[in-house]
A and B are shown apart, each in its own frame.
Chain A
Amino acid sequence: MDHSKFNVLGKATQRKDSVAKVTGSERYSIDIQLPRMIYGRILSSPYAHARIKGVDVQDAEAMGAVCITFDDIPHVRYNERIITIPSVLHKDHFILADKVRRMAEAVAAVAAETEALAEKAVRAIKVEYEPLPVLIDPFQAMQSGAEPIYDTILWGEEEIQVENNIACSRQVEEGDVDQAFAEADVIVEGTFKTPKIYHAQMEPKSVVCRPESDGGLTIWPTTQSIHNVRILLGEIFNIPLSKVNVKRVPIGGTFGSSIQMNSVIPICAALALKARRPVKLTLTREEDMHDHTRYGTWIALKLAAKKDGTLLGAKMELVADIGAHNIQPYSFLGVCVGWLVSLYKLPNVRYRGTAVYTNKAPSCAMQGFGNPQVTFAAETLMDELAEKLGTDSLELRLKNYIGLGDTFWGQGPLVRSIVQSDGVPELLRQGAEIIDWENRPKPGSQSGRFRRGVGLARGFHTSSAGAPQPGDVIDFSGAMVKVNQDGSVDVITALMDHGGGTLDALAKIAAEALCVPLEKVNLAPAETRSTVYDCVTHATRGVYAGGGAVLKAAEGVRQELLETAAHYLNVMPDALTLKLDKQQSQGVVYAPSIPEKRMTISEIATRCWTESWKTIATVESYRPVNCPPAYVTVFVEVEVDTWTGEVRTKRAAMGSDCGTVINPDMAVGQLEGGLSKGMGYALCECNQWEPDGQIASRGYWVDAKTPAIGETPYVQDIHSYFADSYEPSGPFGAKGIGEAATNPVAAAYANAVYNAINIRFYELPITPEVILKAVEEKGQSK
């Protein structure tokens, strides 16, 4: 894409928060200190499944601690995530456990003058538990006679029974699947298993809550959505939203782990309301590792194709291990089939998804929300299909992928749109050249200790969950843009930046739209009471939808600038235009035909102020009516050590079609980060649970199997590139990138390992131990 027509877009610029971050002066939730603040701790259950017979807080209270138990909290059931519309939302969660359903679940909580006293007090609480059988395996949990984890939950306002620990299920059927499979020349199939892994975000979840004298609350949380936290707290504690003010605090990484209202937030609010003092509550790393994971899945997938490689249809059965709470698996099940049918043209599809409760950490969104799981299955089978047909898998992908002009519904059956920008052929061809795809090894052609393999997988993520109709997923953004008296600009939005530079992209969009130098655009601190709603930063929507809202507001400001200048200059507004005057380092409004008729933005703003007229400002809501696919292709070259089973990344080509590239260096960072997170998912990460529901690592990094810098592919070995692409529905042609960057990575590694040693793996992670065993079984060692 030719960026020369832009002033700031497409240019590497210094992040506005960079100095604060590198000097350590950025203040995260855990750094917030308030006068009279006290410290909270939760009492974590030592059982994964137990009835609570009694909680005795006498000793803790005698130490001066404020204690809360189930009896002290509002008995309101909620879902921590409220992206699904209320009428079909499943709700199973109380602030503190009514019954323990996972290890380390909060049973009670205390707040005290010091952290040490809080710790002492929490240990002094006596709880009588009645341990129940622990269900670790979703298939066992579904068997009749299995111990019920829930009796009932709420669905909307209706109380429903939970049968066989099934939280929810979903079926989708399109076209004529039976006929498609009957007509097929080739069928490929496999059953794929993916683990429940920990997000491993840098910042453990934290929150500070201050009770206000009017009965309200002010909150400084770790979150991806300040407005959804506010709505939930208002609902649970029955406080008018006008009195609940949630502040946007920089977040120390999330990968989806704070997409829901974090478990500590309402606990802290309840403590603060009872103590009538500000309270800080931070999870320890051990507690955090029990708090959330990616969805673990079992996916049985079948693809049917004609001899010429045309795909005819698919059958998919998916079981999701959702852990102890429902954090919207209903939408998870919906998108999982969406990911499949939006990857390739599959006019005939039969799908059944089942979400099952287990006594494990709750599954929530994690980079891709089901997409890495489904793409692992689909892209493995595409490779197998190509091999069966004797064609190049790259060509097979090109033949069948969903691209320009195709309808697609990545975010589930109700979120349909048409693809308007498509860099896939360019990404595939360019990547093939970089990695020398033509000359990749033939599977089975190598012997000896080290074997080289090249793997390809492609994928996408939707930019937002926007659609022409409302649907059952809430997705819209909002922004305010105002021009200050000196001509500088404030951008005010509730959007969160997870560390990827999303807010900088928004500032650049405003700067571009208003022809203002980037230094003059300020990202205002945000809180719920002075911002309009933004649903949440997820679904790769930050730049596309959040940026769309900023652009819409900036365009309003631009129009008002022209009209205001027209008034002062006595020129028709339509005769005026706005451009950046590089010499003056200022935006100017001028009439091209009468050059002396000109005013800088600062002159306009100053006059509006000194003549007591107005502030030029616009506030807008923005609902995306599309959710364009942000495409990514991954080529990776690995070296497998058949003595130890280790897999080393030699090279990777990461190609992205994110439309207009707004922050080039940060977009590259997203691709490199996506590769390294995906590599961990493919090769090492796995939370193992012991039969009693404890995680085998016990919450320690040492055994958490998250890769570290030593495993991360070298930056100089990663070739990142971008398609020349422009998304007509996006702000200045932009769409998303974040989750797309990781979605195909695990599949690419699995395909590369296959290419090296001629063995297919259907379960992640593909650890050295797993590889070694397979090599041995195949009699390939030595």
Chain B
Amino acid sequence: MPEFDLLMPQTLPEALEMLGDRAPDLTPLAGGTNVIVYMREDRHRYKMLMDLTRLNELHGVRREDGHLVLGSATTIAELLTDPLIAEHGALLRQAAAVFASPLVRNRATVGGNLVDASPAADTAPPLLVMNAEVELASQKGVRRVPMDEFMVGVNETLRQPEELLVSIRWPLPATRSAGGFSKIGLRKGAVCSVVSAAVMVEKDEDGLCQSARIALGAVATRPIRAYAAEEILVGQPLKPQIIDLAGQLSAETVKPIDDIRGSADYRRRMVEVLVRRLLSRAAQEIVPRE
């Protein structure tokens, strides 16, 4: 591995100041499960790294005006044990459970996953369907960006070099809602997604679909929503026929590639299977009115 300088700020303001002075030569380092790999394979040469682990402001999970707010440095392992996540972020927890391996999960962070912006980032589909926003901070101030706008392409986001991702927030899921996350990999553990999908549906009092969100990973240059499929579900009873159709429409939305993990064709077909499976399960989960 090449040599680099490491800065270790103790507080968020200190970190933002360092970044303000030195960006773009200074790269934030969270768990390092992307950064270290890129360094080893010479994909990136980092002049300076800034360790984020000591910034208390990036840690912790809390409720705040009807939202759940998650520090960007929360590790994937923490998602599996945090009680608030269990209650208000079940999908994220499901994604964490099949994310990499236990060793990687202990280091990898949600913020790192989003800023790395792999099309296969496993925390993205759940956050997309939960209508999450990310909060970015720099010396100039704070701004919020909706998840669906944040990632713009392979390893590209709207984050400016002098900004840090501080937190991720989403509205607490409604009572008559349910959802799920599922991924297909080349094996069950320690793998990146060949395809991933998350869905979230809400029923109205009559048991009809009030809202539906579907997000897909590893099938385009970034994790995407399947808006066309979502639209046809709204106002409908969640029956097999319409679910099948939503699966097909999702598969038509995607623009996957052929690579070592799978062919474009296989990915498209798996999108259909995953969406169908997740929607049926979610539809059954929402208990009808007494």
- Does any Cβ of B come within 8 Å of A717's Cβ? no
Taking CB atoms and an 8 Å cut-off, the chain A residues in 671-710 that contact chain B are 684, 688, 696-698, 700-703, 705-710
Query: A705, B186: Cβ atoms under 8 Å?
Result: yes
- A-facing mask of B164-188, CB < 8 A → 1, else 0? 0000000000000000000010111
CA gap between A116 and B4 in the complex, in Å:
12
Interface of A is mostly: loop
Nearest-neighbour CB distance to chain B for A449, whole angstroms, equals: 10
Query: B270, A644: Cβ atoms under 8 Å?
Result: yes
Taking CB atoms and an 8 Å cut-off, the chain B residues in 220-274 that contact chain A are 260-263, 265-266, 269-270, 273
A123-B2, A644-B273, A769-B266 known; A710+B187 contact, CB < 8 A: yes
CB-nearest residue of chain A to B261: A703
Query: B260, A702: Cβ atoms under 8 Å?
Result: no
Query: B1, A703: Cβ atoms under 8 Å?
Result: no
- Does any Cβ of A come within 8 Å of B5's Cβ? no
- Please name all residues of chain B whose beta carbon is closer than 8 Å to the beta carbon of A688 when the two chains form the complex: 260
CA gap between A643 and B273 in the complex, in Å:
7
- Does any Cβ of B come within 8 Å of A772's Cβ? yes
Query: B187, A711: Cβ atoms under 8 Å?
Result: yes
Which of A120, A644, A703 touches B260 (beta carbons < 8 Å)?
A: A703
**Most-contacted residue by chain A among B187, B189, B191, B263 (CB, 10 A):** B187
- Does any Cβ of B come within 8 Å of A379's Cβ? no
- Please name all residues of chain A whose beta carbon is closer than 8 Å to the beta carbon of B190 when the two chains form the complex: 701-702, 708
Which of B3, B41, B191, B270 touches A702 (beta carbons < 8 Å)?
A: B191
Say which size band chain A's interface belongs to.
Answer: 20 to 34
A119-B1, A644-B270, A684-B186 known; A769+B191 contact, CB < 8 A: no
CB-nearest residue of chain A to B101: A708
Nearest-neighbour CB distance to chain B for A329, whole angstroms, equals: 27
CB-nearest residue of chain B to A704: B186
Nearest-neighbour CB distance to chain B for A694, whole angstroms, equals: 11
A772-B266, A772-B269 known; A698+B187 contact, CB < 8 A: no
CB-nearest residue of chain B to A699: B41
Taking CB atoms and an 8 Å cut-off, the chain A residues in 740-775 that contact chain B are 768-769, 772-773
CA gap between A706 and B188 in the complex, in Å:
11
Interface of B is mostly: loop
Interface residue tally for chain B (C-beta within 8 Å) = 24
Nearest-neighbour CB distance to chain A for B229, whole angstroms, equals: 18
- Please name all residues of chain B whose beta carbon is closer than 8 Å to the beta carbon of A701 when the two chains form the complex: 190
Query: B189, A710: Cβ atoms under 8 Å?
Result: yes
- Please name all residues of chain A whose beta carbon is closer than 8 Å to the beta carbon of B262 when the two chains form the complex: 769
Query: A696, B260: Cβ atoms under 8 Å?
Result: yes
CA gap between A703 and B260 in the complex, in Å:
8
Nearest-neighbour CB distance to chain B for A571, whole angstroms, equals: 65
- Please name all residues of chain A whose beta carbon is closer than 8 Å to the beta carbon of B15 when the two chains form the complex: none
- Does any Cβ of A come within 8 Å of B110's Cβ? no
CB-nearest residue of chain A to B104: A702
A119-B1, A120-B3, A644-B273 known; A711+B188 contact, CB < 8 A: yes
CA gap between A261 and B189 in the complex, in Å:
33
CB-nearest residue of chain A to B260: A696
Nearest-neighbour CB distance to chain B for A703, whole angstroms, equals: 5
CB-nearest residue of chain A to B37: A700
Nearest-neighbour CB distance to chain B for A557, whole angstroms, equals: 49
- Please name all residues of chain B whose beta carbon is closer than 8 Å to the beta carbon of A706 when the two chains form the complex: 187
- Please name all residues of chain B whose beta carbon is closer than 8 Å to the beta carbon of A644 when the two chains form the complex: 184, 270, 273
CB-nearest residue of chain B to A709: B189
Which of B3, B187, B269 touches A684 (beta carbons < 8 Å)?
A: B187
Query: B187, A705: Cβ atoms under 8 Å?
Result: yes
Query: A710, B188: Cβ atoms under 8 Å?
Result: yes
- Please name all residues of chain B whose beta carbon is closer than 8 Å to the beta carbon of A700 when the two chains form the complex: 37
CA gap between A644 and B184 in the complex, in Å:
9
CB-nearest residue of chain A to B191: A702
Nearest-neighbour CB distance to chain A for B112, whole angstroms, equals: 16
CA gap between A711 and B187 in the complex, in Å:
7
Nearest-neighbour CB distance to chain B for A750, whole angstroms, equals: 19
CA gap between A37 and B240 in the complex, in Å:
68
CA gap between A688 and B258 in the complex, in Å:
13
- Please name all residues of chain A whose beta carbon is closer than 8 Å to the beta carbon of B1 when the two chains form the complex: 119
Nearest-neighbour CB distance to chain B for A724, whole angstroms, equals: 38
Taking CB atoms and an 8 Å cut-off, the chain B residues in 1-26 that contact chain A are 1-3
Taking CB atoms and an 8 Å cut-off, the chain A residues in 262-286 that contact chain B are 286
20 contacts between A and B (CB under 8 A): A116-B3, A123-B2, A643-B273, A644-B273, A696-B260, A701-B190, A702-B100, A702-B190, A702-B191, A703-B186, A703-B192, A703-B261, A708-B188, A710-B188, A711-B187, A711-B188, A768-B266, A772-B269, A773-B265, A773-B266
Besides A702-B191, A768-B266, 5 more A-B contacts (Cβ < 8 Å) are: A286-B41, A643-B273, A684-B187, A705-B186, A773-B266
